Amino acid sequence: MEFKENKAAWIVVILTYLFFAAVGVMIYFLYIDDTYKFYVENEEIVVELGDTYQLELVPERLSKFEYEDYVYTIESDNIASINEQGIITAKGIGETALKIKHKKSHDVEWVMIKVVELKIPVESIDLDCEDMEMFVGDTKQLAATVNPIDASDKKIKWTSSNKKIVTVDGGYIKGVNEGVATITAISKDDNSKQVSCKIKVIK
């Protein structure tokens, strides 16, 4: 009889312990864990090769936070790296995922990092042509130089203001009929960067 009473008492103690443990877990997830919830300002980040980017975290409840309070995991560290202050460094062309988690929370956010080639814009174009004359039927090769020399996109589009007078193809011009036409070299990277010269065609 005494054994049964002790057994029943132990069962009550164990069930009580399990109950309060379950309540504690619920409180943790409903209140404590929720305290550290956060979101990321930009879920997709584009960074030029060699540049850095400051990750922007926004806590939902905390009035202030430290970047060191979070754990950062990058899937491919040959594409990008991140330090304890949340500064991302672009190391190689490509895409990789970044996992972010608060040290005291189970909440996880993901960010996609895309590293692109450093773009050097076109600043100006030089043309080896001043206003000139040419005869009907004559041809001439014009050359356009893109500045700076290491601009990312050096492609040039050539246009003629009047193809019935002068035609142009890849800088190669031909006098067709008498008159005046303007030949223009335009940067495909930035069409505001262009240079022109007038061609007068005579017989």
* pLDDT tens digits, 5-31: 555 555 555 656 655 555 455 545 445
In contact, 146 and 156? CB cutoff 8 Å: yes
CATH number, domain of 51, equals 2.60.40.1080
* Position 19 in a domain: no
Range of the domain at 134: 124-202
Is the bond leading into 148 cis (omega within 30 degrees of zero)? yes
Q: What is the DSSP string of 114-149?
A: EEEPPP----EEEES--SEEEETT-EEE--EEEEST
Question: In this model, does residue 60 exceed pLDDT 90?
Answer: no
| Among candidate residues 93, 116, 139, the one where a domain is terminated | 116
Residue corresponding to tokens 């142009």: 168
* Position 97 in a domain: yes
Domain count, the chain: 2
pTM here is: 0.55
* Position 16 in a domain: no
Q: How far is CA 103 from the centre of its chain?
A: 28
The answer on 166 and 104 residing in a single domain is no
